Chains A and B, each alone.
Chain A
């Protein structure tokens, strides 16, 4: 029954999305607002269908309905409850279903948020675009990636269970949904960008409408990536958290272009410039989420020639192509109107720094994209197989990362239009001291090597700048100095700096060693005394684990384990980590003992500052949330900056509120003034 219900729900979702798009288009072409409003209602049908589909899948998983192929292939009776729920997103078809559910949620939120403006062509076209994207994903589920396919022949009594690595840590339950909330969230600004291009209202209105949506998607994506890194650290047992793996790169690419966008969008709001660039960034971000899904889900990584084996590969590739061609076509078509009158007067200005930021992020994204797809290109061209891994990415991205840290320090200190040397000296003085002190402290505690030291120094510099900004904000406005885009953004900066510094430290100074120990033996490894006390075998519902008891520095006992799952031939290690503020000691059981008195092979990783990766990521999420809280000044769409002096006077005066006039760093003085052409 679950299969039939799910099947019907998915089909209903597809039909509702198609009807929604068609109704809205009809309303737009015939000029009937009533039809456009009717189109909105289909969003609720899509959401209902998606939720029923999701419920059917979860019910199938929880009730061990092995008549569903997806359940039979990916779940087992013995799978613990949490992982049964999470099994939905542990394989292709279910993850497309999750995508569909999240997308339907965003679609319904759009319909709800803009319910009063359903007749507005901008909103209607945005809905059309969102409906079209939704129709594609539900189409995938009706066709090539059907999660509700039933098994042919007899219904199996049990299934193999999910991939062992995916039923090993509770983070598996939240990392993919967070990532998808981010990935899919970029559909909303993309839909509005398309709508702006189609309707020709290419001013700044659509940007302001979608500002918070973009921020929200960006925040979830950041959190999703960080949780993925954490999962990798806690589960994979190699001691690292980021391997420049294509799957990781696929999530990182839209983050890079999205980050560029949330910065350059401020130039457009403020100065009405960079319109084509911003549209291109949004289109890139959205299409990179599709391309990333293609790369990771189509089998193209095993071999270029493998992706046609599953029909979802070509479907995603075609969709990617359609998105890119249509968007580029629209931008070209509106090219004339998109040309903006403004000019960036000086590279030493806020907008100049944002431009540099964008060039760097674009370069970063280019390097990551190139490194990810280049082996595929080479294989397609001359059948050679090459691997591109960490040595390449580390080498290429390190200078870009350091330059970005530098900008992060300087840019918030720069005023709009033009900076004087005097002002810069004044504002940068103590951030520069913070950077110097950070460098000196790093050298004193033993950090060596130019690249990591530069990273620490720039980190201190940037942190100094962010703290200065926040301190000024708090002094002026109390707790409100911590919210709003500029101040929240500074909190995000602090989080990014923590992540960058921790990343540099862990990658540069992490060490690993192996040691063979019999029960009762101790050894000094990488400055720590590890004592092996003995092993025990524990049977869990889904696995059999050998857990070694190991004391670190005669303190608490840790239990790195090696587990065998019924559906995997290779044993899966589970590391055990002593987390500390300055360093992590990470233990892995590489080989279990032959007999009770036999030796085990223990892996020991010692890496500094790892915990700050997670703290920094949390701070980024917090900062994003605070940036979404409106600061006191006004709603961005209110016209405060320009109002008529008197009724009989047709001239327009710029009235700048006093607090803005005294605050050169204040947010946009007003979109209206900048967007006379909209």
Chain B
């Protein structure tokens, strides 16, 4: 079973991949650009005229042979604050780093908790506990 699973996964994950070209590459870039006139959508998803115009701009640059970085840089310069993908550096980079830090802390916390639980002996039943149970049952 493991072999079948690994084979299927590795084939499925790699086949048909490779670098995107033309339309697909333009689309991948457009997905990261915020549509200036609609709330929360990328220009790849919006039919607004402004979004269509921006898509065309990206497409023509892709067809000219510019790299992804070049196109992104051009868009960022022409339309400031239009990226839906927050920057990875500076204060804003925290938005990427904080969840990772939190995940590491949580994992460490779990390890510590399980260690402690393992060491703590179970407490014996006290007279007080016994009393509480009796009282609960008498009700």
Contact = CB atoms under 8 A, between A and B. Distances in A.
Do these two chains interact?
A: yes
Contacts of B94: 374
A238 B47 CA distance: 7
A245 B46 CA distance: 14
Interface string B122-139: 110000010011101100
Given A378-B91, A439-B5, A347 B86 contact: no
Interface stretch (A40-48, A53-61, A477-485, A636-644): A636-644
Interface in A330-359: 341, 343-347, 352, 355-356, 359
Interface string A498-514: 00000000000000100
A362 B5 contact: no
A116 interface: no
B32 to A, nearest CB: 5
Contacts, number: 156
B54 to A, nearest CB: 14
B42 A573 contact: no
A609 B69 CA distance: 34
Chain B interface size, as a band, is: 35 or more
Contacts of B91: 378, 381-382
Interface in A511-554: 512
A161 B32 CA distance: 35
Interface in B46-93: 46-47, 52, 81-87, 91-92
Contacts of A305: none
B87 to A, nearest CB: 7
A329 interface: no
A476 interface: no
A9 B94 CA distance: 48
Interface in A368-396: 370-371, 374, 378, 381-382, 384-392, 396
B118 A345 contact: yes
Instruction: Give the interface centre of B39, B40, B122, B129 by most chain A CB atoms within 10 Å.
Output: B40
Contacts of A396: 96, 99
Interface string A653-678: 00000000000000000001000111
Interface string A188-227: 0000000000000000000000000000000000000000
A443 interface: yes
Nearest to B17: A448
Contact of A652 (B4, B16, B98, B137): B137
A448 B106 contact: no
B106 A343 contact: no
Nearest to B110: A359
Nearest to A441: B8
A345 B117 contact: yes
Contact of A378 (B92, B118, B123): B92
Nearest to A397: B99
Which of B17, B31, B96, B117 counts the most chain A CB atoms within 10 A? B117
A450 interface: yes
Interface string A428-458: 0000110110011011000111100110010
B134 to A, nearest CB: 7
A577 B51 CA distance: 23
Interface string B94-111: 111011001100110010
B95 A603 contact: no
Contact of B136 (A392, A447, A672): A672
Interface in B6-57: 8-9, 11-13, 15-17, 31-32, 34, 39-42, 44-47, 52
A389 B1 CA distance: 39
A649 to B, nearest CB: 12
Contact of A450 (B13, B122, B132): B13
A245 B12 contact: no
Contacts of B114: 344, 346-347, 352
Contacts of A603: 47
A370 B41 CA distance: 19
Given A238-B45, A388-B84, A366 B120 contact: no
7 shortest interchain CB distances as A-B pairs: A389-B84, A343-B117, A245-B40, A450-B13, A443-B12, A391-B85, A238-B45
Interface of A: 237-240, 243-246, 341, 343-347, 352, 355-356, 359, 362-363, 366-367, 370-371, 374, 378, 381-382, 384-392, 396, 432-433, 435-436, 439-440, 442-443, 447-450, 453-454, 457, 512, 573, 588, 590, 603, 639, 642-644, 650, 652, 672, 676-678
Interface of B: 1, 4-5, 8-9, 11-13, 15-17, 31-32, 34, 39-42, 44-47, 52, 81-87, 91-92, 94-96, 98-99, 102-103, 106-107, 110, 113-114, 117-118, 120, 122-123, 129, 132-134, 136-137
Given A389-B40, A676-B129, A676-B132, 19 more contacts: A246-B40, A344-B117, A352-B114, A359-B106, A363-B102, A363-B106, A378-B91, A381-B91, A386-B83, A387-B84, A388-B84, A388-B95, A390-B84, A391-B84, A435-B5, A440-B8, A449-B12, A450-B9, A672-B137
